Amino acid sequence: MFKNMIVYRIAPQWQVELTQVEEALAKVPFLECGATQEKSLGWVPPRGDPHGPLAESVGGQWILRFMVESKVLPGSVLARRVKEKAERIEQETGRKPGKKESKELKDEAKLDLLPMAFTKQGSMWVWIDTTSRLLVLDTSSQGRADEVVTLLIEALPGLSVSLLNTQTSPQAAMSHWLKEQEPPVGFTVDRECELKSANEEKAVVRYARHPLDIEEVQAHIDAGKLPTKLALTWDDRVSFMLTEGLQIKKVSFLDTVFEGTKSDDGGFDTDVAIATGELVKLIPDLIEALGGEAESGVASAAQAVVNETSAAPASARGAAPSAPTPPARKTVGGGVVTGPKEVPVDTDPESAPF
């Protein structure tokens, strides 16, 4: 649970009960693909019970699970079926299909093949911490995260979130930690990192299972290479990979986390309690290590909610008009998604479990 994390901050104006979340998710349940359906998505019970609730609370932490199913239709198979159809038309009419007709043949061939196609499924854990106002998605793909956040905003009226944004960029911080050999308080630098050149050559140097406190690493940084990934351990309890886009990958809970627990203490509640109990402390420490949280994203998300719920402009109430806020990245169903000025790079999306 939570092997990768993309973290959002929930605007303070959003208040909702777990029962309301359950009712909203029940309108978009996951159903398997129909015979000619390419993709299906929706919510499934986090515990895995066939008719269980779609929103679970464990120790006050809300857990959801999102599921996607898609048909696997190889391009070569589709192309062969289209070719067969085109050849049949040419034999019967003596002419080759035109551009428009070829497109129609492709659509027709796809409908023929979809009922016979294999399906693949992927799921994503979603964690809502209403106390810390955090929304955490278990994925390393920004595109996939945006898809789920958009669905949540459509389902939950007034929900406004912003990508977590810090005063110091992860890349600048990682450069400092490696160059000066001064990791932040409570963290240690592990034995894996990736450095990438910012010039046109885009040269990449990767270290795996290798000490990083060496002059060679510092020389790469002096030469202009910047860290895009760095392995860290927090408080001797959680190891992870920090990326330049403030994504947290390869989350691993160390043995110290499980001290005092019995070997048979497994199950959904225990897994959620352990994961959220550690991560809810790690995330604030990581934000502090990156210079604290930048206000722009959260402020603009909060302001969007205020603007939509206000009956009259501030000037009409005798108050000074508020300062303009940064434009939202995405607005759907009354909610707003904001974030850093530039969306983090969607690095290595295929490694995501979802």
State residue 141's pLDDT score. 92
C-beta of residue 63 within 8 angstroms of C-beta of residue 18: no
Q: 43 burial class (0-12, 13-18, 19+ CB within 10 angstroms)?
A: buried
226-275 per-position pLDDT tens digit: 999 999 999 999 999 999 999 999 999 999 998 877 656 668 999 999 99
Which two three-digit tokens encode residue 299? Answer: 């402020």
Q: 72 burial class (0-12, 13-18, 19+ CB within 10 angstroms)?
A: exposed
The span from the CA of 176 to the CA of 170, in Å, is: 10
Q: Pairing state of beta strands 248-253 and 330-332?
A: unpaired
The verdict on pTM exceeding 0.85 is: no
Q: How many CA atoms lie within 13 A of 2 on its CB side?
A: 29
The span from the CA of 159 to the CA of 156, in Å, is: 6
Residue pLDDT tens, the chain, 354 long? 899 999 999 999 899 999 999 999 999 999 999 998 999 999 999 999 988 999 999 999 999 999 999 999 889 999 999 989 888 888 888 888 888 888 889 988 889 888 888 999 999 999 999 999 999 999 999 999 999 999 999 999 889 999 999 999 999 999 999 998 899 999 999 999 999 998 877 889 999 999 998 889 989 998 889 999 999 999 999 999 999 999 999 999 999 998 877 656 668 999 999 999 999 999 999 999 999 999 755 545 444 444 544 444 443 333 333 333 333 443 333 444 544 444 444 444 444 444
